[in-house]
Amino acid sequence: MKIDWLKVCKKIGKESSKELMRIYNSGNRRKEMGRGFGGDITIEADKKSEDIVIKNLEKLNVCIHLISEERGEIKCGLKEGPLYYVIVDPLDGSFNFKNGIDYFGVSIAVLDSNYGYVIGYIRNAVNKDEYYALKGKGSYKNGKLIKPSSAEISRNTLFEISPKASRADFEFLIRSFLNSRHNRGMGAVVLDFGLVADGTFDALVYAGATRFLDVAAGIFLVRQAGGIVTDFSGNEQIHKGTKLISRNIIAAANRKVLENFLKQRFILEQK
């Protein structure tokens, strides 16, 4: 049985976003429910959104290896049959969510049994913007084909940094920050990828990434839109299978934008 993964992702995205907004608007945004697989505190919104993901996946007549923030790696659907890897962040931007900042969302990436991308899907839970990329068919925002900007250097840059970033990575971010006119740190990296893919921003510089689920859908979205995603040295292999192998990521609108960032990195390394 062939699965319409776009239809599945849209259904999950819509239902999860609706539940996230219900909790968000209830004023009970900080309710804790223990700790997730990775050791982080799980809030009710994380759990409820993930439950919706699992409920929908279990209905499919395929074997699914789910990788998600709260439960880690589990199998659902059929015990045998066509295998898919589904990588989900049920709530990216949890700090924003807890503190009443209207920028958070849901991301889903589906890989086939050979770890080839089938779809990358991202939904902004607040304004309902929906991004998706299909293999060989480009990237879309709310059903319309999108392309990154044609800028030759990044004047509008998104920055994200985690506590896992090294001092050298931090110094690179500072240099990149000083070479860009408009800089933002939005706090939900999955949505940031969408803003690069649609040309709103020229690049995203992310230092200290620790989980593939944070970037899985976004990498595919930017690349299918025509952008470039590499590590801070220009290597395009960010992951191997479902494992993240690079902690630092640049998502650039085009080759010229990327090369400008890599030049700044080279200058730092010569010091």
Q: What residues are designated binding site?
A: 69, 89, 91-92, 214
| CA neighbor of 66 nearest in space, from 108, 18, 3 | 108
Q: DSSP for 63-105?
A: EEEEEETTTEEEEEE-SSSSEEEEEEEEEE-HHHHHTT-S--E
Q: Bridge partners of 141?
A: 131, 144
What single-letter DSSP state applies at residue 180? Answer: -
Backbone angles phi, psi at 102, to 5 degrees: -80, 60
Q: What is the DSSP letter of 40?
A: P
Question: 5 with 88: CB under 8 angstroms?
Answer: no
Query: Which residues fall in the annotated binding site for Mg(2+)?
Result: 69, 89, 91-92, 214
Q: Residue 210's Cα: distance from chain center in Å?
A: 12
Q: How far is CA 119 from the centre of its chain?
A: 12
Backbone phi and psi for residue 80, each to the nearest 5 degrees, phi listed first: -135, 160
